[in-house]
Amino acid sequence: QEKKKVLNSLMSGALAGAVAKTAVAPLDRTKIMFQVSSKRFSAKEAYRLIYRTYLNEGFWSLWRGNSATMVRVIPYAAIQFCAHEEYKQLLGSYYGFQGKALTPFPRFIAGSLAGTTAAMVTYPLDMVRARMAVTPKEMYSSIVHVFIRISREEGLKTLYRGFTPTILGVIPYAGLSFFTYETLKKVHADHSGKAQPSPPERLLFGACAGLIGQSASYPLDVVRRRMQTAGVLGHTYSSILLTMQEIVREEGLIRGLYKGLSMNWVKGPIAVGISFTTFDLTQILLRKLQGVER
């Protein structure tokens, strides 16, 4: 029964992540294109870029790199949520909170460790996805083609370029996201007397968690994208600090390191909303199917 429950959660979480990411893929691709260029970001410029991409490369080009996102998101979501449960149990037994809600610090650590574990396993796929998002389709025809060309032309080490800022970004992002979500659920349970929040409440808690996590780690996200795409955009970034210095010098602190953050504030709650709705509906469907089987 416990294994079935875990499997249901993994399947539902993976599907939820896939549907949510596909829904916001055009916004995601546009954000990456701004992050890796020196162009100033504005809603008007973002709309122009989306429209120009549509005219020049066709409607489906807005989802370019999404197949690489799917290949990454499905194992990433499964590993992250599964790892989070395991780390919560481990920390719970270590701190003596077995069966009870963790206190704030272990709650943050469990989220950070879960995000770090998932990022370490799936990082090359994130690298491939960023490359596909910023290049024309003539350059890379498929995910496999990206792997082959990077390995042949730039070396296998390139698949982990930008890995350090990713991990440094994941620690506050995953830590604060899980921490905020779990904390809001606990506060809700204490004040309402209900064990579980309703789907709209989960949606709201998830949106808050995503916004706080993204805002805290966003500059490292920009640095990661610059380092990942340096090889195809004619730049050389040797370290995190030098990349940050160059971005700030050329584009300014806010306009450079927080470029595209407002778009994240739009797509974040949309993605979380779709994710939670898909998760709930999939869980209900799986339970019904298993009920029929029994």
Spatial separation of the C-alpha atoms in residues 76 and 291, rounded to whole Å: 29
Residue 75, C-beta contacts closer than 8 angstroms, at least 6 positions apart = 14, 118, 121, 122
Give pLDDT tens digits for 142-189. Answer: 888 888 988 888 888 888 888 888 899 899 988 998 898 889 988 998
Mean pLDDT over residues 218-224, rounded?
A: 87
25, pLDDT greater than 90? no
Where along the chain do its domains lie? 1-41+262-293, 43-160, 161-259
Q: What is the mean pLDDT of the chain?
A: 83
Give pLDDT tens digits for 112-126. Answer: 999 999 999 888 888
269, pLDDT greater than 70? yes
91, pLDDT greater than 70? yes
pLDDT for the residue 292: 53
Spatial separation of the C-alpha atoms in residues 150 and 280, rounded to whole Å: 39
20, pLDDT greater than 80? yes
Look-up: residue for tokens 């149990």?
A: 89
Domain 43-160 has CATH 1.50.40.10: yes
8, pLDDT greater than 90? no
Q: Find, among 127, 119, 117, the residue nearest to 158 by Cα.
A: 127
pLDDT for the residue 99: 64
pLDDT for the residue 111: 92
Give pLDDT tens digits for 53-79. Answer: 888 888 888 888 788 778 888 888 888
Give pLDDT tens digits for 223-249. Answer: 888 887 876 666 777 788 888 888 898
Chain-centre distance of CA 40, in angstroms?
A: 23
pLDDT for the residue 294: 44
DSSP code per residue over 161-223 = TTHHHHHHHHHHHHHHHHHHHHHHHHHHHHHH--SS--HHHHHHHHHHHHHHHHHHHHHHHHH
CB-based burial of residue 10 (10 Å sphere; 0-12 exposed, 13-18 middle, 19+ buried)? middle
Q: How many CB atoms lie within 10 A of CB 288?
A: 10
Q: What is the 3-state secondary structure (H, E, C) of the chain?
A: CHHHHHHHHHHHHHHHHHHHHHHCHHHHHHHHHHHCCCCCCCHHHHHHHHHHHHHHHCHHHHHCCHHHHHHHHHHHHHHHHHHHHHHHHHHHHHHCCCCCCCCHHHHHHHHHHHHHHHHHHHHHHHHHHHHHHHCCCCCCCCHHHHHHHHHHHCCHHHHHCCHHHHHHHHHHHHHHHHHHHHHHHHHHHHHHCCCCCCHHHHHHHHHHHHHHHHHHHHHHHHHHHHHHHHHHHCCCCCCHHHHHHHHHHHHCHHHHHCCCHHHHHHHHHHHHHHHHHHHHHHHHHHHHHHHHHC
- Of residues 273 and 144, more confidence is placed in 144
